[in-house]
Chain A
Amino acid sequence: MTQTVTQKIMALNGAEAIAEAMRQINPDVVASYPITPQTIIVERFSEFVADGLVDTEFVAAESEHSALSASIGAAAAGGRSMTATSSQGFALMWEMLYIAAGMRLPIVMAVANRALSGPINIHCDHSDSMGGRDSGWIQLYSENVQEAYDNTIQAIKIGEHQNVRLPVMVCMDGFTTSHAVERIDVLDDNAVKKFVGEYHIDHPLLDVDQAVTYGPLALPEYYFEIKMQQIEAMTNAKPVIEQVSKAYGSISGRSYGLVEPYNMEKAELAIVILGSTAGTAKSLLDDLNDPRLGLLKIRTFRPFPTEEIAANLRKCKAVAVLDRAASFGSIGGPVFSEVRAALYDEPKRPQIVNYIYGLGGRDTTTDMLKTVYDDLDTVAKTGKPDPVQRFLGLRDD
């Protein structure tokens, strides 16, 4: 990577880093509403607007529902639009998530992941964005501040790609990433501007010479066909995410695929995880220096990288999928269910167990992750995954 552009080193927390990326993207409209731990994004961005550093119309909406509704209006009008939220705000947007995707509007939304009420809790888990996993949005999960910044810029390019045209959410762990200051490399403003290019949709509302109708009533004769187009767009998104990642790598030196294998070459026992806890696992693996132990980080949860996951895990003896969200009454958490399904067609499947961890911001330490590898060792030796669902860091008898 010798062609990379000059980059500036900055000390930013995740929320500030996303705000910085948004300043560089310079969207036409940002509509949002404050909610912990996302608030810093809108605060910083408001400062950019107040100081005239962006051309953006900032819509300080009266709710997240309206924030996303305004984003939808802006994107359909022909403007690049972005928003941000967390937890209850995400839940309040839920109705509009589906509509943004159904209208094929490439809105980019930052999500500072936070547990859902009740009881109310302001700390991280993934129950908010996991609840929107079937809404038709692309979901990128960030491990750290650098990734939150990089993913935000790439999200624009991915969502707006002609073969995709889908909204994208860039998730980062609330507080752990949103509020933790890290040293990151920030691209030159012009490089970002050039990378994201101009916003274009085929039928903007503001082209008053062509009367387009957005959001009609599609009855049984048509609804299915329109949904099929969304299904295809998600399939199309996979190669696009990889292309964009490559292109981004060529300017930044940082490239991310759909998944990130870590110490997986010879791994027999693997943990699958998304978000900041992947960093904790990497740190543990560095300390243990054991080729038998590996990590598979999922960066792209939607579209789900089925083949890539199967290819990385098929040689393992035992796999633990860590879910930072419960799926009440299911066989396991949402990541587990899908990873397990991804391995179904493998002739030789690893033993697979699920850990629910970190709910409501419960800390997950390297020691705790070490117990997961120890458990996996037992599972591999006995060949028995019982119990399939386990709970990490829970006070138990």
Chain B
Amino acid sequence: MTVERKKWRDLPIGGVIITGGNAQVYLTGNWRTKKPVIDMKRCTNCMICWVYCPEGVILVKDGKITGIDLEHCKGCGICAVECPTKVIEMVKESKDE
């Protein structure tokens, strides 16, 4: 990831960051060795994976899980362990993906 680094006069003073939540542009998905795959047909939308996700990358819309933000998911596997209906599987990342 290349970032254009600002010169000293162009940065806000005091080291403050004024763009809250901009860490999202930093992608942590490449930390992953295994990715979670949800069997959407069997998912009950209980949201247990959502509440235990350290990254907050379980995507939810209108009370339903719509997917996982794999650009940021670090592949910790907590969701797979905690899923009460055991519909999340951790699958090895393959190189050609």
Show the binding face of A for B, using Cβ within 8 Å: 102-105, 165, 202-203, 210-216, 218, 221-222, 224-226, 228-229, 233
Contacts and interface: CB of A to CB of B under 8 A. Distances in A.
Contacts of A215: 15
A212 B20 contact: yes
Interface of B: 5-9, 11-18, 20-21
26 contacts: A102-B15, A104-B13, A104-B14, A105-B14, A165-B13, A203-B12, A203-B18, A210-B18, A210-B20, A211-B20, A213-B16, A213-B20, A214-B15, A214-B16, A216-B16, A221-B5, A222-B5, A225-B7, A225-B8, A225-B11, A226-B8, A226-B11, A226-B14, A226-B15, A229-B8, A229-B14
B16 A212 contact: yes
Contact of B14 (A103, A221, A222, A224): A103
Contact of A213 (B7, B8, B17): B17
A211 B21 contact: yes
B14 A216 contact: no
B22 to A, nearest CB: 9
A213 B15 CA distance: 9
Given A104-B14, A226-B14, 7 more contacts: A165-B13, A203-B16, A211-B21, A212-B20, A214-B16, A226-B8, A229-B13
Contact of A222 (B11, B18, B21): B11
A224 B15 CA distance: 11
A211 B6 CA distance: 21
Contacts of B20: 210-213
Nearest to B10: A225
A212 B17 contact: yes
A234 B18 CA distance: 23
B14 A165 contact: yes
Nearest to B3: A221
Contacts of A165: 13-14
A228 B8 contact: yes
A105 B13 CA distance: 10
A104 B9 CA distance: 15
Contacts of B17: 212-213, 216
The 10 lowest CB-CB distance pairs between A and B, nearest first, are A211-B20, A104-B14, A225-B8, A213-B17, A228-B8, A226-B15, A103-B14, A104-B13, A229-B13, A203-B16
Contacts of A203: 12, 16, 18
A378 B36 CA distance: 86
Contacts of A211: 20-21
Contacts of A229: 8-9, 11, 13-14
Contacts of B16: 103, 203, 212-214, 216
Among B5, B8, B11, B16: residue with most chain A CB under 10 A: B16
A361 B13 CA distance: 40
A203 B11 CA distance: 14
A228 B15 CA distance: 11
Given A221-B5, A225-B7, A225-B8, A216 B18 contact: no
A225 B11 CA distance: 8
B52 to A, nearest CB: 25
B14 to A, nearest CB: 4
B10 to A, nearest CB: 9
Contacts of A216: 15-17
A342 B70 CA distance: 60
Among B11, B12, B13, B17: residue with most chain A CB under 10 A: B13
A103 B12 contact: no
A222 B20 CA distance: 18
A226 B12 CA distance: 9
B14 A218 contact: no
Contacts of B15: 102-103, 214-216, 218, 222, 226
Nearest to B15: A226
Among B12, B15, B21: residue with most chain A CB under 10 A: B15
A289 B10 CA distance: 54
Nearest to B6: A225
B24 to A, nearest CB: 13
